[in-house]
Amino acid sequence: MSPPALSIGIAGAGLLGRLLAWQLSRRGHQVSVFDSAAGPQPVARSQAGDPYVPTAAGFTAAGMLSPLSELDNAEPAVAHMGFRSLALWPGILAALPGAPELVVRGSLLLAHRADLGTARRMLDRLHVATATPEWRHLQLPAGEQPLSPAELRTLEPAIQGPAHAWLLPGEGHIDTVATMIALHAGASGVDWHWGVPVRALQGGDAGGTLLLADGRALAFDAVVDVRGAGARPELPVRGVRGEVVWLDCPGHGLTRPARLLHPRHFVYMVPRSSRDVVVGASEIESEDRSPVSLRTAVELMAAAHSVLPGLAEARILKLDVNLRPALPDNNPLIEHAGRLLRINGLFRHGWLLAPALVERALAEAPWLDTALASDGRPSRHGAAKAQA
């Protein structure tokens, strides 16, 4: 006999909220999602009206799936979850409308001649992480592969300028905007409530409650808090500013993500299509949601141009800003309190960790006696928990 359908209220329609809503609705549960955004579509900061209502941080992210390079400031356990997500994403995307693109060709670390010291310090941190007993116990892949200038030209002919390069095998990137839209479109049975922020959540052994900003209290069989930076004061979460520039450059030639290592900031370039490139800064410790500054825009685009000379004639499509949620230790959190589930603290790793975190959270949820397989279909609780 199938378990009874539950009414589940989700606070937050970002990546985690959409992925949970899609998976739980496919199980037959009655899911309602509440978010302060005006609608399901992205609105870039440079194109937003006044007053500014931010959309999900998942739209702003470039979608780098880089468990190895994130070891620069993450623990081996985070990389382990990242590799699990890389295994889960293909099944999820294949089941979504339009089958959004996932590309796994590895990623590149690049450095100009004068910045070799900065690159070496980052690589040393990667080596320390991959030499730990935890890394060996998890049986994760090896680290970077040095590339000669000739090898770099063979892999990425469009890249010119960096004197040093390393390939990180097994890494990739995902079409973030298409996936966010497909998760919403694919969850046709979900009741979406836009422009309805949640002030707080309460959970007990028999059910949970969403306390809305307009004063209403809505009761459900279970509730989920995935509000990201909006989860304060219930969680000690802070916002970490991310800034990106979308460039239109037909025939840019870049086929895999590349990260330029620089003494002041790391700049990444991710091909979104054969003509679009997303350029961004990894992290800025600020909760400022104001538009991208001239200095940041100039530095990002100058750094990208120093690696991809073909971007000289690129056209600026949009500039975007968002806040990524981080906890004090920069590690993700799954917390169960009766029929209240909280997932937060994805930091820079949202797209890298989301599938693995959702899989683990649902496998451990005491109010579900089944969890979901990687494509969203039911599987026995014990099997799913063993995979997490």
What per-residue string of b and e applies to 334-371 under the rule 16 or more CB within 10 Å gives b?
beeebbbbbbbbbbbbbbbbbbbbbbbbbbbbebbebb
Query: Using CA atoms, how far apart are residues 354 and 17, in angstroms rounded to an integer?
Result: 10
Residue 377 scores a pLDDT above 60: no
Check: pTM over 0.85? Answer yes or no: yes
pLDDT tens per residue across span 306-360: 999 999 999 999 999 999 999 999 999 999 999 999 999 999 899 999 999 999 9
Which tokens is 339 given?
């029929």
Residue 364, SS3? helix
pLDDT of res. 282: 63
The predicted-structure confidence for 53-94, as pLDDT tens digits, reads as follows 889 999 999 999 999 888 887 888 888 899 999 999 999 999
Confidence of residue 133 (pLDDT cuts 50, 70, 90): confident
Single-letter code of the amino acid located at 324: R
Report residue 91 as tokens. Answer: 């099944």
Cis ω before 233 (30° cut-off from 0): yes
Confidence band for 369, pLDDT divided at 50, 70 and 90: low
Contacts of 4 (CB under 8 A, 6+ apart): none
